Amino acid sequence: MAAYIVKRVLQIVLTLFVFLTIVFFLVNAQPGDISRLYALDPNLPPETRAQMQELFGVNEPLWKQYLVHLKNTVTGDLGVSFSLYPRTVADVIKERLPRTLVLFLTATVVSFYLGFGLGKIIAWRRGGWVEYTSTLGGVTLYTVFTPWFGLMMIWLFAFKAGWFPIGKFLDPVVWQDAPSDANSIFNLMLATAVILSVIVFGVFLVTSKRRLGMARVLQVGSIAVSVLIVVGVWLSSGVGYLAWDIVKHMVLPIATLTLISFAGTMLLTRNSMLEVIREDYVLAARAKGLPEKAVRDRHVARNALLPVVTSFVFSLAFAIDGGVIIESIFSWPGMGQTLVAATVSEDLPLAVGTFVFVGLFVLLAHLAADILYAYLDPRVRY
Amino acid sequence: MSNQSTSAPVLRVEDLGMYYGTRSGDVKAVDGVSFAVGRGESVGLVGESGCGKSSIAMTLLKLLPENGRIVGGKILLDGTDLAPLSEDQMRTHRWNRIAMVFQAAMNSFNPVYTVGDQIIEALEVHIETSPDVSMERVRELFELVSLDPGFIGRYPHEYSGGMKQRAGIAMALACEPDLLIADEPTTALDVIVQDRILKELRDVQQALNMSLIYISHDMAVIAEVSHTVGVMYAGRIVEWGETVDIFRNPMHPYTQTLMSAFPSVTGPKHELAMLGGEPPNLLNPPSGCRFHPRCPYATDVCKSAEPPRVEGSDTHWAACWHPLEA
């Protein structure tokens, strides 16, 4: 298992290197150099222009620039943003990456859970209104034009119904005279989410060996208790209303992302289930007198999960693509919006930095999926 | 071999019928089958592919596909009729009372769980035990079928074919069932492993005084494990009797053909018999005796009327208009 992970990590480092190389040369394949942006002013004397070129390092040969770029990236120096001068790219990313991660990880996990659960049900009880409704609805949402759908969600739930804010990350009125700034509150929320997921994962890991009924009770019980504790801590902290404001702003984009993507998982789960149902060990599980639900969840769904996990990784990569659109529509100040803004304002260091982080994120997701897969399928471990 | 008990049979099947509904009509896979299995008795069901052997096994456990349905008859397990039971009621009988070793036992283990866990799973559904007791039981079972207990925590893909088959038998014995159904469990194994496993299966069956229904198309295998043989043809039992009688004096022409289709190592050389024609279409089986289109002795009466049950002895009968003389 350790050898497997080491091998995968080495492969990912190699892939990242290739990715960095491609991004660097793509950017440099564009006409002109970065300094031209500032040096176009005809009033600038040639000495200033040369000074600028030297400052940006573009007077060096390309291969030298490439080495400097690699060295800087590896040491975490991504340069200074042009459009948000004097903030460094690393600083901007540090602020915005968590926002995107929370949005997408939540949406992906929810849509995966929804899709897997629905796919499981419609494969088990084929025919009937549940299958038709969820298949028709799911495929419609999967293929719908995303910007239009996002705007419809805003129009319906934010504008007409008024349940949620129309966009953005927070409501300035609520945050007036707030005792804490948005980033620290958000980081606290992030830490809470991480702790909660670790607890949930741990509970499932510990109880997976228990009897079915008992495991369910333990799982639901301990998760409910930890959720209650978390809610209690936030309520008593005095900044709970600030966190609640951010949560309110997250609901619509997460719901939109979930709705447009769950059908893929659902249909794949359904097909995968229908294949596994024919396996002999499913018949054997029935013959053993296991309850219907145990046959479905422990034997059929457990094996049907394997191809679904693989596709889940690819959907993560696509989620980042979709993020550009969703974040723009909901004015969510995350990586997607930063990428668009940096490109539009020709803020090259920020654009490259964002690219690097999006790529890094996709690679890490692949690694996580590989490890998860090895955990799920004992045949891969050896 | 003849430790057959005289007490009430563990299983009595009466006039059992099971049809598969298809677009072009019902496939009568099991049609009017009656037989009984005594406690500790070993019965072999033999016949060509598609004659309804496996369908009987699945009907006894009521593990039918969506289009399969029991159309009549009784499955009396110790006097309780299983045929009308609901899925929930049936679940308590499965494995606990009737267990099964599958045709493709290689694939009867889920690849993502250890073999030990899958046996414990079967134990825990039916018997309230602690994890330690279950583990101890699995160790016992592994020893019973000559498997290294060190393999309890291993995954199915780490087992060889023969080991998986042994593990399949161990799993079937987990709840000490009254009746074990073995559906061609050794078909995919090489002859040496096959022979060893057959021997062990027979030993275990006798040691536990468990009833066994062994399903095979191979007469030689049946002869090795079974005390009684039922010969099936086109969804029906055409001859029933003790193994010795069936082999020495087959009464039904089909049994005779089936027997002469296998070479004998020690006996005189003879041309292996070939059965002409094709197995009947169970969508629309032949009238009268179902074997008549392929039977060398068939007369007009065979085509029009159901054959009577002719008794050769107390324990030996055949459904035939023209039974062969002993």
For residue A52, give its domain range. 2-74
In a domain, residue A188? The reply is no
In a domain, residue A298? The reply is yes
The three-state DSSP-derived secondary structure of A147-188 is: HHHHHHHHHHHHHHCCCCCCCCCCCHHHHCCCCCCHHHHHHH
Do residues A369 and A273 both lie within one domain?
A: yes
**Per-residue tokens: A272:** 């995968």
Separation in Å, CA of B276 to nearest CA in chain A? 33
- What's the residue count for chain A? 382
Question: What average pLDDT does this structure show over A287-299?
Answer: 91
The three-state DSSP-derived secondary structure of chain B is: CCCCCCCCCCEEEEEEEEEEEECCEEEEEEEEEEEEECCCCEEEEECCCCCCHHHHHHHHCCCCCCCEEEEEEEEEECCEECCCCCHHHHHHHECCCEEEECCCHHHCCCCCCCHHHHHHHHHHHHCCCCHHHHHHHHHHHHHHCCCCHHHCCCCHHHCCHHHHHHHHHHHHHCCCCCEEEEECCCCCCCHHHHHHHHHHHHHHHHHHCCEEEEEECCHHHHHHHCCEEEEEECCEEEEEEEHHHHHHCCCCHHHHHHHHCCCCCCCCCCCCCCCCCCCCCCCCCCCCCCCHHHCCCCCHHHHHCCCCEEEEECCEEEECCCCCCC
pLDDT digit string, tens, across residues B241-293 = 999 999 989 999 999 888 877 666 666 666 666 666 777 888 888 888 999 98
In a domain, residue A48? The reply is yes
Name the β-bridge partners of B228. B43, B242
* Cα gap A117→A266, rounded to integer Å: 8
* Cα gap A265→A117, rounded to integer Å: 9
Q: Do A280 and B63 touch (CB under 8 A)?
A: no
In a domain, residue A204? The reply is no
- For residue B238, pLDDT over 90 is answered with yes
Do residues A271 and A360 both lie within one domain?
A: yes
Domain range list for chain B: 11-92+218-319
Do residues A244 and A360 both lie within one domain?
A: yes
In a domain, residue A191? The reply is no
Interface of B with A (CB under 8 A): 61, 63, 87, 91-96, 99-100, 102, 104, 107-112, 117, 121-122, 124-126, 155, 157, 171
- Alpha-carbon Rg of chain B, whole angstroms? 20
In a domain, residue A232? The reply is no
pLDDT digit string, tens, across residues B117-148 = 999 999 988 988 888 899 999 999 999 888 99
Do residues A143 and A246 both lie within one domain?
A: yes
Q: Do B87 and A299 touch (CB under 8 A)?
A: no
Do residues A140 and A172 both lie within one domain?
A: yes
Per DSSP bridges, beta strands B211-216 and B236-242 are unpaired
Q: Compare CB distances from B108 to A284, A302, A377 and report the shortest one's residue.
A: A284
Mean pLDDT, rounded, of chain A: 85
Do residues A263 and A340 both lie within one domain?
A: yes
Q: Which residue has the tokens 């007409």?
A: A160
Q: Do B155 and A378 touch (CB under 8 A)?
A: yes
User: Among A132-136, A278-282, B42-46, B275-279, where is mean pLDDT lowest?
Assistant: B275-279
* Cα gap A363→A193, rounded to integer Å: 22
Do residues A170 and A244 both lie within one domain?
A: yes
- For residue A68, pLDDT over 60 is answered with yes
**Per-residue tokens: B35:** 């037989």
Sign of CA dihedral B314, B317, B321, B322: negative
Residue A208 has a pLDDT of 66
**Per-residue tokens: A129:** 């209104």
Residue A209 has a pLDDT of 62
Residue A319 has a pLDDT of 63
Do residues A151 and A263 both lie within one domain?
A: yes
Do residues A159 and A20 both lie within one domain?
A: no
Q: Do B94 and A289 touch (CB under 8 A)?
A: yes
What band does B5 get if pLDDT is binned at 50, 70 and 90?
very low
The residue out of A46, A74, A102 marking a domain boundary is A74
Q: Compare CB distances from B125 to A290, A299, A379 and report the shortest one's residue.
A: A290
What band does A98 get if pLDDT is binned at 50, 70 and 90?
confident
ipTM over 0.90: no
pLDDT digit string, tens, across residues A180-234 = 888 888 888 888 888 888 888 888 777 766 655 677 788 888 889 988 998 898 8
pLDDT digit string, tens, across residues A131-176 = 888 889 888 988 999 899 999 999 999 999 989 888 888 888 888 8
Residue A211 has a pLDDT of 59
Do residues A55 and A122 both lie within one domain?
A: no
Do residues A33 and A154 both lie within one domain?
A: no
Q: Compare CB distances from A284 to B96, B102, B111 and report the shortest one's residue.
A: B102
pLDDT digit string, tens, across residues A223-267 = 899 889 988 988 888 888 888 888 899 999 999 988 988 888 899
What band does A304 get if pLDDT is binned at 50, 70 and 90?
very high
pLDDT digit string, tens, across residues A334-371 = 888 888 888 888 788 888 888 888 888 888 888 888 88
Count of domains for chain A = 2
Separation in Å, CA of A285 to nearest CA in chain B? 8
Residue A101 has a pLDDT of 82
- For residue A88, pLDDT over 80 is answered with yes
- For residue B309, pLDDT over 60 is answered with yes
Residue B76 has a pLDDT of 94
CATH number at residue A142: 1.10.3720.10
CATH superfamily of domain region B11-92+218-319: P-loop containing nucleotide triphosphate hydrolases (3.40.50.300)
In a domain, residue A185? The reply is no
Do residues A93 and A68 both lie within one domain?
A: no
